Amino acid sequence: MAVAPLRALVEGGYEVVVVITGEDKRRGRRGAATPTPVKAAALELGLNVSHDPADALTSGADLGVVVAFGQILRRPMLEAMPMVNLHFSLLPRWRGAAPVERAILAGDEVTGVCVMAVEEGLDTGGVYARTEVRIDPQSTAAELRSALTDVGARLLVDTLQRGLDAPEPQVGSVTYASKINTDDLHLDWNRAAVDLLRLVRIGGAWTTRTGSRLKVHRAVAHPERTGQGQVGELHGTEVTTGAGTLELAEVQPEGKGPMAAKAWLNGIRPVPGERLGTQMVDR
């Protein structure tokens, strides 16, 4: 999410003296270490790159711009230079690590982007500018993230070009966007189909079949349909839920690649009454 803002700053004529990002990561056991996307973009642009935040203190920069950095910046750095953060929600709603995912899970109809002042607290600083973005009921977290990134890059440059006056304090109810973990992504078939679809939309949703994990990449919710049998029961590509049915469109069995749900069903040939999320087949 930091690539588009970085490019926008360079294209806007700003001198980026250093880009601070995470260490290169190895993909797989034998894969070569690869740079973060923002490091790759910075090197392409001919910019200096560092993995040490302390290098910002000696960079000679007039302003720090923080985008999806994932670390709390401490007082010495904040006292060294003013800093702004591009945050992907309408603060004070969804402060924290996963604002895009939490907005989708909550069923929010609108989210947005804020250019805010960086403080020691978690996303507590005043707001210089904000833009609202509507959330399509079918959009995935990846699609929403892309839209917010484009909007945020423009908002960042426009805000800096206008100049940074005193930011406005955040007003409203505070909610926190805690990090999404594996347990959060478990499909509990007792829940309503619309809630389960939101989990699928943020990516990584999973259930089990006879003890093996099954990821669900794409699905369609049918809240108006009355599912047959018990919750979790498979009827073709549709699964009975606590309210409505969830139609599987693309799945990924453990140890295999993504595939159409119909192709998966043709391969496993489930018995009548088979349920997802259980260790054994119910008859």
The answer to whether residue 196 scores a pLDDT higher than 80 is: yes
**Cα(252)–Cα(256) distance, rounded to whole angstroms?**
6
Claim to verify: residue 37 and residue 169 sit in the same structural domain? yes
The two three-digit tokens of residue 19, written as one number: 């880009």
**Cα(65)–Cα(149) distance, rounded to whole angstroms?**
14
Claim to verify: residue 173 and residue 191 sit in the same structural domain? no
The candidate with the shortest Cα–Cα distance to 217, out of 253, 189, 190, 184, is 253
Report in angstroms the alpha-carbon separations of 83 from 15, 172, 208: 15, 23, 45
Work out the pLDDT band at 281, boundaries 50, 70, 90.
Answer: very low
249 touches 218 (CB < 8 A): yes
Question: Which of 144, 177, 210 is the last residue before a domain boundary?
Answer: 177
Give a yes or no: residue 277 inside a domain. Answer: no
The candidate with the shortest Cα–Cα distance to 164, out of 99, 84, 244, 220, is 84
Q: pLDDT tens digits for 117-143? A: 999 889 999 999 999 999 999 999 999
DSSP tag of 114: E
Q: What is the number of domains present in the chain?
A: 2
Residue entry with tokens 């929600």:
89
Claim to verify: residue 195 and residue 156 sit in the same structural domain? no
**Cα(5)–Cα(54) distance, rounded to whole angstroms?**
22
The candidate with the shortest Cα–Cα distance to 142, out of 202, 98, 97, 88, is 202
Claim to verify: residue 152 and residue 198 sit in the same structural domain? no
Which of 34 and 279 is assigned the larger pLDDT?
34
9 lies in which domain range? 3-177
CATH code: domain of residue 77: 3.40.50.170
Claim to verify: residue 79 and residue 210 sit in the same structural domain? no
* Burial of residue 238 (number of CB atoms within 10 Å: 0-12, 13-18, 19+): buried
Claim to verify: residue 27 and residue 162 sit in the same structural domain? yes
Work out the pLDDT band at 61, boundaries 50, 70, 90.
Answer: very high
The two three-digit tokens of residue 262, written as one number: 């119909």
**Max alpha carbon distance in the chain (Å)?**
70
139 touches 107 (CB < 8 A): no
Q: What is the pLDDT of residue 115?
A: 98
DSSP H/E element including 269: none
Give a yes or no: residue 251 inside a domain. Answer: yes
Counting residues of the chain whose pLDDT is more than 90, the rounded percentage is 83
The candidate with the shortest Cα–Cα distance to 128, out of 80, 72, 169, is 169
* Burial of residue 210 (number of CB atoms within 10 Å: 0-12, 13-18, 19+): middle
Claim to verify: residue 36 and residue 108 sit in the same structural domain? yes
**Cα(35)–Cα(40) distance, rounded to whole angstroms?**
6
130 touches 90 (CB < 8 A): yes
**Cα(273)–Cα(31) distance, rounded to whole angstroms?**
43
Claim to verify: residue 217 and residue 77 sit in the same structural domain? no
Residue entry with tokens 């923080």:
66
Q: pLDDT tens digits for 199-248? A: 999 999 999 998 899 999 999 999 999 988 999 999 999 999 999 999 99
Q: What is the CA radius of gyration of the chain?
A: 22
Claim to verify: residue 119 and residue 240 sit in the same structural domain? no
Question: Which of 146, 177, 208 is the last residue before a domain boundary?
Answer: 177
**Cα(170)–Cα(150) distance, rounded to whole angstroms?**
23
Give a yes or no: residue 145 inside a domain. Answer: yes
- Count of residues making up the chain: 283
139 touches 203 (CB < 8 A): no
**Cα(27)–Cα(34) distance, rounded to whole angstroms?**
7
